[in-house]
Structure 1
C-alpha cells in the first residue's frame, strides 16, 4: 500500500514534471551561461542524444572540447546533483575512468535561468562491444572498483532502488494516463497488477546497499584502451547486481558464459552476494514498467511525441501486454540461470 507521502509525490509528478519542456533554454541562453563560467566558447553547439536532459558539445578558443549537460528541473535537488558529482569525482580520484564534472567558481553545479547545468570534458571513445569477452572482463573489474568506492558510504539525499519508485509510482501514473488506448487499458493494468503481485513476492532485501552507477547499460560505456563509464545521472543506492545484469545478453547459454566471466572477474577485486542473482528478473521487470511511466511523465515535452510517435498506437501497447505477461511467467518459473561457477 502506498504511503501518503508517496501519493503526494505521484500527484506532484503528474502535475509538475511533465509540463517542463526546455523551451526557455534557447542557444543564446546556453552560450551566455557557458561564457559566464569563464570558458571562451569558439564553436557552435552540437546537440548530443539525450531526452531526459539537454546536452551539447562545444569547443573553446584553444580547441579543447567540452560537454555541457543541462539538467531537467524538478527531477533532482541541488543536494542530489552534488552527491552524483561528488561520487563521480571520488571515482576519478581513485583512477577509475569516468566522465567527471569540472568545477567553476568553486562548484560543479552552475545555473542558467533557473536550470542547473554541469560541464564535463569531452571524452571520445569507441562503442563498447557486448559480444567481446575482453571488454566484459575489463568492465567487470572496473565495476568492482567502482563498487569498492561505492561501499565507503551511502548517499544521503539520493534514493534507493525499490518497488515504490520503480513499480508502485509508475503503476499509479499508468493507471491515470490517457495515452494507453481505451480498448487495451483494462488488459494492460490487469497485466501490470499480476506482475506487481509476483514482484512483491520475489523482491527481497538480502543485499548490502552501495552507491551505484544506476543505469549501467552498454550505451553508457565507451572504450578507450579500457572501459570509460559515463552518465551517472541515475546514480543511487542499491544492490551491486543492478550494475551488472544489463551487461548480459543473448540466449541462455550465452548468458551463462557471460555471467561466469562477469562474476569471476568482479570477485577477483570485491565480494558479491550470490543471493542478488534472484533479483535479476525483478529488476528487469521494474525497468520495463519504469520506462513506460517515464515516457508518460515526459509526454508534454515536445521532444517526446517526436521521439516516440508509436507510443499511442494500439500495436505498441499490445506488445507491452504480451511482454509483461511473459515477464510475469518468467518470475513464476524456477530460475533459468544456473549458479555461475566463478
Structure 2
C-alpha cells in the first residue's frame, strides 16, 4: 500500500457498520461504539430488542477465509462442550463469516463482566479451570489452516521487520541486530518439539477474560494457533517475587488440572514465549504503521527512547533465558 493510498479501514464509517449489521436482518436504533481494538475494528452495539452485540470487522488480507472459519469452528466446538467463550452468531444458513462492501465481519453476543484480578487466588483457580476446559476440547484435533508457533521462523520475521523500521538510528540498529542474533540460539535451545503443539487461544491477556466473582469467559480467539499449552497460561503469572509467583502457578495449575493434565516441563518455555511476544509486539507496531490508528495510539514508537528501552528489555531476556525465574 502506497503512502498516498487510504487505508481500507478509513472507509469503515459508523454508517457502514450499521448497514453491514442490518444487512443480516437486525435493526439498530443507536450508533455503534468503537471498542479498544487495533488489529481489527470492533464495535459494541444494541439491537431493537435491547440485545447487546459485538461486531468485528477483520483486517483485510490478514487471515484467509479458511483461517477465520477454522477459528469459528473451534468456537463452535467449545460452545457445544459448554465452555464459556464468546461464540459467533450464525444466520439461518449457519453462516458466521459475513461480507459487506468488501469487508468481512462477524457478530458476537456481548460478554458481560470485568477483567479478573491476578492477585486473587480464587480468580486464578477459575481461570485455570476455564483454560483447562478449552484445552480439553482443543487436543481432540489440530488446526489445519491457523499459524503454528515455530519460534525460529517467528523471531526471524520479527527481526527483519524491525531492522527495516525507519526510526532506529545506526547505533540502535546495530544493537538490535546484535542482541537478537545472540537470542536466537538461546531460543532454539529452549524450543518446544512439534509434538507439543495443540490448539490454543493464543492471546490470554486480561482484556480477553471477562466475568464476575469466580466465573469467567474467554473472548477474542483472533490469534488462535497451534502452540504449546503454556502459551495460554504464562501471562497469568505476573508476580515479582518467587513466593507470589509459586502461589499464582499453584492456583492456575490446580484449576487447569481439573480438566487437563499439565506437563510441568513446559514451564521452561515461558521465557522463550515472553521473548517472542516482546519481539512480535514491536514488529507488529512497525508493520501496522500505515494504519492511521497506530500513529495516534502509539506515537512513542517514533521516539528513539522506545527503541533504547526495547533493546534493554531484550538484553534482560537474554539473561532470563540463561537462568529462568523460580522454576526450581
What TM-score bracket applies, with the shorter chain setting the length?
over 0.9
TM-score norm. by structure 2 comes to 0.94
Tell me the distance in 1 between the aligned counterparts of 2:107 and 2:153: 28
Distance, in Å, in 1 between the alignment partners of 2:98 and 2:152 is 31
Structure 1 length as normaliser, TM-score? Answer: 0.90
Task: Give the aligned CA root-mean-square deviation in angstroms.
Answer: 1.9
1:9 is aligned to none
Match of 2:85 in 1: 98
Range with bigger deviation, 231-240 or 155-164: 155-164
Query: Structure 1 residues 310, 246: CA separation in 2 closer, same or farther (over 3 Å shift)?
Result: same
- Tell me, yes or no, if the aligned pair for 2:152 and 2:188 is still in contact at 8 Å: no
The 5 Å alignment of 1:150-299 reads 150-205=138-193, 207-225=195-213, 226-251=215-240, 252-299=242-289
The answer to whether the 8 A contact 1:166-1:287 is kept is no
Q: Do 2:167 and 2:304's aligned partners in 1 also have CA atoms closer than 8 Å? A: no
Partner-residue secondary structure (3-state), 1:166: helix
Are the structure 2 counterparts of residues 328 and 19 from structure 1 closer, same or farther at C-alpha, using a change threshold of 3 Å?
farther
1:130: how far off? 1.3
Tell me the secondary structure at the aligned position of residue 203 of structure 2.
coil
State the alpha-carbon separation in 2 of the partners of residues 165 and 147 from structure 1.
Answer: 25
8 Å contact kept, 1:174–1:293: yes
By how many angstroms is 1:21 displaced? 4.7
Verify: 1:75 aligned to 2:62, yes or no: yes
What corresponds to 1:329 in structure 2?
319
1:125 lines up with 2:113 in the alignment: yes
Partner of 1:8: none
Offset, 1:202: 1.6
User: Given that residues 166 and 289 in structure 1 are in contact (C-alpha distance below 8 angstroms), is that contact kept between their aligned partners in structure 2?
Assistant: no
Using the alignment, how far apart are the partners of 2:153 and 2:220 within structure 1?
A: 20
Structure 1 gaps, min length 5: 1-13
Matches of 2:2 and 2:193, distance apart in 1: 32
| 2:75 aligns with one of 69, 81, 88 | 88
Out of 105, 111, 115, the position equivalent to 2:103 is 115
Indicate if the aligned counterparts of 1:195 and 1:328 stay in contact, CA closer than 8 A: yes
How big is the shift at 1:29? 1.8
Point out where structure 2 has 5 or more consecutive residues left out of the alignment. none
> Match for 1:44 among 23, 31, 36?
31
Q: Number of paired residues? A: 324
